[in-house]
Structure formats: structure tokens, C-alpha cells
Amino acid sequence: MPEMTKSIFSGRYDLFRARLIEAREKADLTQADVAARLGKFQSFVSKYELGERRLDVVEFLDVATALGVEPCKILMELQKVK
């Protein structure tokens, strides 16, 4: 059984953040654009991209929708990383 990750600074969480940033940039969206789609402040996007706050699963689904990406693709990639 895998050990639970205790830090947002794990390799998998870094990859998670990187994929969200890449998806935003690929969609040619600014942090402010994503925040507007979510009904949040730009600082919300900045903080999860910098790793200053975690996204819960519901927030992640909302972010993925705002970015136009399939959440399962990101999760499947993360599952492959140990």
C-alpha cells in the first residue's frame, strides 16, 4: 500500500500544478481569465499554481472545466508517478 503524501511539495503535486499551468497556457488564458470563469479572484489561481494552497477534488473539477481539459487525463498521469 502506498504511503500517503503529507506535503504539497511532493513530486506528484508539483506535476499536478505544472499540468494545470500548461493547460492554462495552452488555452491562452491568463490567471485572471481562469479566475473569472470560476467566479474567484486571480489570487486563487495564483495560489494553487504556486503551491500555496491545495485544490480539493471539487475545485479541481471546476478548474479542469474552466481550462477545457479532461480531469481524468491529469489524474491518470499522476497515478503513474510514484
User: All domains of the chain, ordered by start, with CATH?
Assistant: 11-80 (1.10.260.40)
Whether the CB-CB separation of 79 and 50 falls below 8 Å is answered with: no
The pLDDT tens digits of the residues spanning 36-76 come to 999 999 999 999 999 999 999 999 999 999 999 999 999 99
User: Is the pLDDT confidence value at 4 over 70?
Assistant: no
Write down the H helix ranges in 1-82: 11-26, 31-38, 42-50, 57-67, 71-80
CA–CA distance, 22 with 60 (Å, rounded to integer): 15
Cell numbers 474552466 label which residue?
A: 66
pTM score, whole prediction? 0.87
